[in-house]
Amino acid sequence: MNYKKYKGYETIVLEDRIWPSRKIEKAPQWCSVDLRDGNQALITPMGLKQKLRFFEYLVKMGFKTIEIGFPAASDTEYEFTRTLIEEGYIPEDVTIQVLTQSRIQIINKTFEALKGAKNAVVHLYNSTSTLQREVVFRNTKEETIELAVFGAKAIKELAQKNPETNFTFEYSPESFTGTEMDFAAEICNSVIDVWEPTKDKKVIINLPSTVEMATPNTYADQIEYMCRNLKSRENVIVSLHAHNDRGTGVAATELGLMAGADRVEGTLFGNGERTGNADILNLGMNLYTQGINPELDFSDINSMIEIYEESTAMSVHPRHPYAGDLVFTAFSGSHQDAIKKGMARMNKQAQYWEVPYLPLDPKDIGKSYEPIIPINSQSGKGGVSFILEQNYGLYIPKDFQKDAGRVITAYSDKMQTEISAEEIYEVFLNEYVDIRTPLQLNYHKTQSVDSDWDLVFIEAEIEYNMQKHYIQAEGNGVVSAFCNSLKEIIGMDIDIVDYRGHSMEYGTKAKAISYIELKNETGERFYGAGTSSSVGKSSLRAVVSAINKMISAQQIKDIDTEEEEIA
């Protein structure tokens, strides 16, 4: 790769810059350019119906300025402008914006398209960069200024002839980032001289990084330079229009705002020429997650995705900030565990949203918590217990969670796929709940020996290896009494380490579920759960489940030992 073929970007010298210590404290004036810059970059540009639908969506989101197209470019563009105006699509507080080159027939056609509009921004541009002056226009600096001034004058005159419309003027030194900064200021000031802005009639100077050529801090330096050198700055709205060639269009815009800009042009999901424009969803949500009102409504991200994909025939990347399908997921066990703990804390005490790995509450943009934690072989106990808790109301004790996490991730590994909440539940039930072989509880009766039920007497019928046994025992509590009576029958020592239970609302009937952790004589732990409409019975079933796990583990060990001996 011949990198020597490229020359480095010459940065501007602005040593007394002040933007790095500034903060963005409010939303800028937003202008959507989806229907112009976004649209001109599509393989199949939008038709009239699609543009209307998209326009209505942008209005609903709260955009007050929408660049609707380049009316002189085609019949569709012209018709769209007329339809919006004639059929009353434009709310009182919304201003449409249109783009024009500095050529009289194009400017005339643009004004013709705007007839009858209440408010309109006429956006004039010509390329100012050294490269474009040399290659495309073959113009000197003076001729380039003349072209801009020519357009500015024509627009002013036409606006005066159409007083029924409240016109705002916008000028873009197109390819601004490839322009010498002193020349960029000079040409913008020449246009400002023509338009003579006032406090009540401000003009917009839009400074595009038509092609993103350098690091975002360079763009910020350029914006700060322009803010210092533009005439009548207080009557000029400085606007940003960043493209994303180096992948830093959003960052450049944010630094540009810190450098003093007032307004931002961009598109939803960053659609636009080549790598696209600055993404307004990204910019707006970056404000939102800093506690700043973005002044745009992003609460229904799914409908935004739907309209975008339908209109542009493109799709939102699964890792797109805020919107992608994988943005609210965590695959690795430690992330899942941290999210689970963070969410539990949010339920209890929540002044500010603070959940590890989730900078945004998915609910705020119409996403749900459910798909947060897909379980795969990289998942840990946190993810598994989160799914069982959120979807099935199972509050599994901590050590039990570890065992269940291990079993379920091993299952996912074996299946070589991510597994669903239903599968997790199924595996959990099959593995731990109401396990009835080789030990089974047929019936039981309990009786208190003292008045506080501390000492309990139990009678029960059990089946072990298909043989019935009638047992009677005393113990401290039902579970303990039951375990005491089983030791002899199964020929193993059993020690209860943990016993918990809760009512279970999932399913048709309210039930109780109990969780038991046992240890055998060598200290190995076994876990089981039992369900029943009675709490007492669920606990005995949990004991039976855990003992059955212990017996089958012992049987596997015995077989292994036999095989080793034979070998």
Ligand X SMILES: CC(C)C(=O)C(=O)O
Ligand Y SMILES: CC(=O)SCCNC(=O)CCNC(=O)[C@H](O)C(C)(C)COP(=O)(O)OP(=O)(O)OC[C@H]1O[C@@H](n2cnc3c(N)ncnc32)[C@H](O)[C@@H]1OP(=O)(O)O
Q: Would you say 37 or 434 has its CB closer to ligand Y?
A: 37
Q: Which does 241 bind (CB under 5 to 8 A by kind): ligand X, ligand Y, none?
A: ligand X
Among 70, 195, 219, 526, contact with ligand Y (rule: CB under 6 A): 70
Q: Would you say 173 or 405 has its CB closer to ligand X?
A: 173
Quickly count: other Cβ atoms within 10 Å of residue 54's Cβ. Answer: 24
Q: Would you say 253 or 385 has its CB closer to ligand Y?
A: 253
In angstroms, what is the minimal distance from the CB of 71 to ligand Y? 10
317 in a labelled binding site: no
Q: Which of residues 116-145 bind ligand Y (CB under 6 A)?
A: 125-126, 136-137
Q: Which of residues 364-423 bind ligand Y (CB under 6 A)?
A: none
Q: Which does 73 bind (CB under 5 to 8 A by kind): ligand Y, ligand X, none?
A: ligand Y
Q: Which does 514 bind (CB under 5 to 8 A by kind): ligand Y, ligand X, none?
A: none
Q: Which does 27 bind (CB under 5 to 8 A by kind): ligand X, ligand Y, none?
A: none
In angstroms, what is the minimal distance from the CB of 122 to ligand X? 12
Q: Which of residues 39-58 bind ligand Y (CB under 6 A)?
A: 40
Residues interacting with ligand X, by CB under 6 A?
37, 99, 125, 172, 174, 206, 208, 210, 241, 243
Among 31, 61, 68, 73, contact with ligand Y (rule: CB under 6 A): 73
| CA 319 vs CA 242, 252, 316, 327: distances in Å | 21, 20, 8, 6
Distance (Å, rounded) from C-alpha 405 to C-alpha 333? Answer: 9
Q: Would you say 243 or 537 has its CB closer to ligand X?
A: 243
Q: Which does 101 bind (CB under 5 to 8 A by kind): ligand Y, ligand X, none?
A: ligand Y
277 in a labelled binding site: yes
In angstroms, what is the minimal distance from the CB of 268 to ligand X? 16
In angstroms, what is the minimal distance from the CB of 70 to ligand Y? 4
Place of tokens 């901590």: 398
In angstroms, what is the minimal distance from the CB of 362 to ligand X? 33
Q: Which does 40 bind (CB under 5 to 8 A by kind): ligand Y, ligand X, none?
A: ligand Y
Distance (Å, rounded) from C-alpha 123 to C-alpha 262? Answer: 17
Residue 353, φ and ψ in degrees, nearest 5: -75, 115
Q: Which does 136 bind (CB under 5 to 8 A by kind): ligand Y, ligand X, none?
A: ligand Y
CB 254 within 8 A of CB 278: no
| CA 123 vs CA 150, 169, 170, 190: distances in Å | 14, 6, 5, 16
Q: Which does 206 bind (CB under 5 to 8 A by kind): ligand X, ligand Y, none?
A: ligand X
Residue 17, φ and ψ in degrees, nearest 5: -55, 145
Among 101, 179, 222, 412, contact with ligand Y (rule: CB under 6 A): 101
Q: Would you say 50 or 409 has its CB closer to ligand Y?
A: 50
In angstroms, what is the minimal distance from the CB of 266 to ligand X? 11
User: Per residue, what are the HEC states of 232-297?
Assistant: CHHHEEEEEEEECCCCCHHHHHHHHHHCCCCEEEEEHHHCCCCCCECEHHHHHHHHHCCCCCCCCC
Distance (Å, rounded) from C-alpha 243 to C-alpha 253? Answer: 9
Q: Which residues, 6+ apart, have CB-to-CB distance to 460 below 8 Å?
A: 441, 442, 443, 444, 445, 470, 471, 482, 485, 540
In angstroms, what is the minimal distance from the CB of 277 to ligand X? 8
Asked if residue 95 binds ligand Y (CB under 6 A), the reply is: no
Residue 66 identity (one-letter amino acid): I
Residue 52, φ and ψ in degrees, nearest 5: -65, -45
CB 512 within 8 A of CB 534: yes
Place of tokens 């009937």: 509
Q: Which does 68 bind (CB under 5 to 8 A by kind): ligand Y, ligand X, none?
A: none
First-residue to last-residue Cα distance in the chain = 61
Q: Which residues, 6+ apart, have CB-to-CB distance to 424 below 8 Å?
A: 375, 384, 387, 388, 408
How many chain residues touch ligand Y (CB under 6 A)?
Answer: 17
In angstroms, what is the minimal distance from the CB of 173 to ligand Y? 10
Nearest to 69 by CA among 22, 29, 109: 109
444 in a labelled binding site: no
Q: Would you say 125 or 526 has its CB closer to ligand Y?
A: 125
- What mask of x and - would describe binding to ligand Y in positions 258 to 287, judged by CB under 6 A? ---------------x--------------
Q: Which does 214 bind (CB under 5 to 8 A by kind): ligand Y, ligand X, none?
A: none
Q: Would you say 21 or 44 has its CB closer to ligand Y?
A: 44
Distance (Å, rounded) from C-alpha 125 to C-alpha 375? Answer: 52
Asked if residue 357 binds ligand Y (CB under 6 A), the reply is: no
243 in a labelled binding site: yes
In angstroms, what is the minimal distance from the CB of 172 to ligand X? 4
Quickly count: other Cβ atoms within 10 Å of residue 561's Cβ. Answer: 10
Asked if residue 210 binds ligand Y (CB under 6 A), the reply is: yes
In angstroms, what is the minimal distance from the CB of 146 to ligand X? 19
Q: Which residues, 6+ apart, have CB-to-CB distance to 519 below 8 Å?
A: 494, 495, 497, 525, 526
Phi-psi label, residue 357: left if phi above 0, alpha if psi -120 to 50, beta otherwise: left
Distance (Å, rounded) from C-alpha 376 to C-alpha 385? Answer: 13
Place of tokens 């073959």: 138
For the packed helices 181-195 and 141-161, what is the interaxial angle rounded to 10 degrees? Answer: 30
Q: Which does 172 bind (CB under 5 to 8 A by kind): ligand X, ligand Y, none?
A: ligand X
The residues pairing with 99 across neighbouring beta strands, listed in sequence order, are 123
* Site of interaction with ligand Y (CB under 6 A): 37, 40, 70, 72-73, 101-103, 106, 125-126, 136-137, 147, 174, 210, 273
Which residues line the annotated binding site?
Answer: 37, 241, 243, 277
Tell me the binding residues for Mg(2+): 37, 241, 243, 277
